[in-house]
Chain A
Amino acid sequence: MPLLKVRNIETYYGPIMAIKGVSFDVEQGAIVTILGANGAGKTTILKTISGVMDPEKGSIEFMGQPIEGLPPDRIVRLGISQVPEGREVFHDLTVKENLMMGAYPRKDRDGIKKDLQMVYGYFPILGERTAQLAGDMSGGQQQMVVIARALMARPKLMLLDEPSLGLSPLLVKEIYAIIKRINTEQKTTILLVEQNAPMALSTASHGFVLELGRIVMDDSCDALLANEDVKEFYLGIKEEGVRGERRWKRKKKWR
């Protein structure tokens, strides 16, 4: 049984249909990625799963239990944590207070203490700066705070929204290495939304391509990496034409 089962969800922003019937599964223990351009509906899918937005139609099952339409705080308690895009730290709270907020629904003090150490293990810089206000940290460190904070909830499924946004290539590599470690060491299933396709495809095992609210490709990441369309439109690898020029008018095959 897949950990997360999304079936035919349709989500609206007012009159605008942002998600037009999306279905996919996320298997236990996997890293799954959703690729797509701006406005494709990636973030909306995550928001619909985490309950911040309600789908008009369709169903979402988490561990066999329907969760669509539940309030977001209930969904967090079931074991789904979202890391929102754009480093949404609590800027006037210290690093440690930020992390403790991640553990807000939990009652097991010893477990929280242990996880705090676990998180400091992944992000040593946070362990050195526990008393610093999160708002005074650099962008990369703030991204670490939000990932660490989500980890403090001990989620079964972590929804990661563009962890590479606005970070230097080196830092992106570092963050992705940690994401991969979290996945293998903590057995946290990860659903990753990303514009940085090369990074996402090399980290995840399975991927979806989302265009204008629809899933147009659904394959293993190796297959996606080899796909001509993904290469051209998401990886930026240009194809040489017969006459040695780029074929500007090439159409995507899924259209």
Chain B
Amino acid sequence: MELLNEILQTVLSGISIGCVYGLVALGFVLIFKATEVINFAQGELLMLGAFISYSLIGLLHFPYWAALAVTVIVMGLLGTLLERTVLRSLVGEPVYAIVIVTIGLSYFLRSMVSMIPGWGTDTYGFQTPFAEKFIRTGKLVISWEYLAIILITTALIFLLFSFFRYTRVGTAMRATSQNQLAAVYMGISVTRVFSLTWTIAAALGGIGGILLSPITFVHMNMGFIGLKAFPAAVLGGFGSLPGAIVGGLIIGITESLAGFYLPEGWKDIAAWIILIGVLIIRPQGLFGIQEKKKV
């Protein structure tokens, strides 16, 4: 019983961190599906979201939910701005060039954060309404901090799913990722779709940031979470939105278990070991499909 509780507890914290990996992985996949570019600055967008929410809650004393909303909006706008200023001018350039630019962007964002007064290279924290609150069932103790991450992520996934499934613009975004030329012939503005994709991906990063902050605290190198979210996206099949979330969860749970039961150091490589294992057995990833060719 004792052991079962312990495992449950570990898995639960793994799920919640996995949700954050999943959100960052979603950002990777969304941008990749629409523009065929891998945005290596996705982790830094999360870091920026965390710093913005820290400023709002810690310095300006916003209530948590208001801060969440403002962070999402600010990050969304920032995503749009990044697309307009940096990425739009690169449309049509070779993909590797654009990928390098996103790597540059990640360095740029990190250094920028270190230079902004009040942010810098220190580690910060802020109060959330979930801190120090627990649900007890028998011997199982569930922290609201973790539960909140899971619930908010679930709501977010539901929202995204409905958007892509049932709205006109969401369907147009799916259409564009499947056949860009045909989308152009439909009167869909591909530039607007790209811009919207970056907006959504950056907003997701922002939410990831505010969710992750209570667990890892706010610091300049939070963006390295991308190194965990990237295998999550690949695991899920890079190109599948549900795959990104499932990949995130798998990596979160494994990592959590490895951190608890295996010697120091295994935690950080667990994600990559699983990734290599899965790719050997199923090279297209869990939810990946082989590119359908027209007959």
A residues lining the B interface (CB < 8 Å)? 50, 52, 71-73, 76-77, 81-84, 86-93, 97, 100-102, 104-105, 135, 139, 146, 149-150, 153
Q: Check A102 against B186 for contact (C-beta < 8 Å).
A: yes
A93 to B188, CA, bound (A): 15
Q: Check B186 against A88 for contact (C-beta < 8 Å).
A: no
Q: Check A139 against B295 for contact (C-beta < 8 Å).
A: yes
A30 to B42, CA, bound (A): 53
A183 to B39, CA, bound (A): 47
- A-contacting 9-mer, from B23-31, B90-98, B171-179: B171-179
Q: Which residues of B contact A105 (CB under 8 A)?
A: 186-187
Q: A50-B185, A72-B185, A73-B188 are in contact. Are A104 and B172 (CB under 8 A)?
A: yes
Q: Which residues of A contact B295 (CB under 8 A)?
A: 139
Q: Check A100 against B168 for contact (C-beta < 8 Å).
A: yes
Chain A proximity of B288: nearest CB distance (Å): 13
Q: Check A84 against B171 for contact (C-beta < 8 Å).
A: no
Chain B residues 57 to 86 lying within 8 A of chain A, measured CB to CB, are none
Q: A97-B171, A100-B171 are in contact. Are A88 and B187 (CB under 8 A)?
A: no
A-B pairs with beta carbons under 8 Å apart, 11 shown: A72-B185, A88-B185, A89-B179, A90-B178, A90-B182, A91-B178, A93-B171, A101-B172, A101-B188, A104-B186, A146-B182
Chain B proximity of A113: nearest CB distance (Å): 14
Chain A proximity of B228: nearest CB distance (Å): 29
Q: Which residues of B contact A86 (CB under 8 A)?
A: 294
Taking the complex as formed, is B184 at the interface, i.e. its CB lies under 8 A from any CB of chain A? yes
How many A-B pairs have beta carbons closer than 8 Å: the answer is 70
Q: Check B185 against A82 for contact (C-beta < 8 Å).
A: yes
A150 to B186, CA, bound (A): 7
A50 to B187, CA, bound (A): 10
Taking the complex as formed, is B292 at the interface, i.e. its CB lies under 8 A from any CB of chain A? yes
Q: Check B179 against A90 for contact (C-beta < 8 Å).
A: yes
Q: Which residue of B lies closest to A152 (CB)?
A: B186
Chain B proximity of A88: nearest CB distance (Å): 4
5 interchain residue pairs of minimum CB distance? A76-B187, A88-B182, A105-B187, A73-B189, A90-B175
Chain B residues 136 to 171 lying within 8 A of chain A, measured CB to CB, are 168, 171
Q: Which residues of B contact A135 (CB under 8 A)?
A: 292
Q: Which residues of A contact B115 (CB under 8 A)?
A: none
Q: Check B175 against A88 for contact (C-beta < 8 Å).
A: no
Q: A91-B292, A97-B171 are in contact. Are A84 and B185 (CB under 8 A)?
A: yes
Q: A52-B184, A104-B187 are in contact. Are A90 and B292 (CB under 8 A)?
A: no
A100 to B178, CA, bound (A): 15
Q: Which residue of A lies closest to B185 (CB)?
A: A82
Main secondary structure of the interface of A (DSSP, over half): mixed
A87 to B294, CA, bound (A): 9
Q: Which residues of A contact B178 (CB under 8 A)?
A: 90-93
Q: Check B187 against A73 for contact (C-beta < 8 Å).
A: yes
A86 to B185, CA, bound (A): 14
Q: Which residues of B contact A102 (CB under 8 A)?
A: 186
Q: Which residues of B contact A76 (CB under 8 A)?
A: 185-187
Q: Check B182 against A153 for contact (C-beta < 8 Å).
A: no
Taking the complex as formed, is B181 at the interface, i.e. its CB lies under 8 A from any CB of chain A? yes
A52 to B171, CA, bound (A): 22
Chain A proximity of B81: nearest CB distance (Å): 22
Q: Which residues of A contact B185 (CB under 8 A)?
A: 50, 52, 72, 76, 81-84, 88, 150
A82 to B188, CA, bound (A): 13
Q: Check A89 against B182 for contact (C-beta < 8 Å).
A: yes
Q: A72-B185, A81-B185, A102-B186 are in contact. Are A90 and B174 (CB under 8 A)?
A: yes
Chain B residues 179 to 213 lying within 8 A of chain A, measured CB to CB, are 179, 181-189
Q: Which residues of B contact A77 (CB under 8 A)?
A: 187
A108 to B185, CA, bound (A): 20
Q: Which residues of A contact B172 (CB under 8 A)?
A: 101, 104
Contact of A101 among B171, B292, B294 (CB under 8 A): B171
A163 to B174, CA, bound (A): 25
Q: A86-B294, A104-B168 are in contact. Are A93 and B184 (CB under 8 A)?
A: no
A42 to B229, CA, bound (A): 47
Q: Which residues of A contact B187 (CB under 8 A)?
A: 72-73, 76-77, 104-105, 153
Q: Which residue of A lies closest to B295 (CB)?
A: A139
A114 to B71, CA, bound (A): 43
Chain B proximity of A43: nearest CB distance (Å): 12
If A73-B188, A146-B182 are given as contacts, then 20 extra A-B residue pairs at C-beta distance below 8 Å, sorted by A number, are: A52-B185, A71-B189, A76-B186, A77-B187, A84-B182, A88-B181, A90-B174, A90-B178, A90-B179, A90-B183, A92-B174, A93-B174, A93-B175, A101-B171, A101-B175, A102-B186, A104-B168, A104-B172, A105-B187, A135-B292
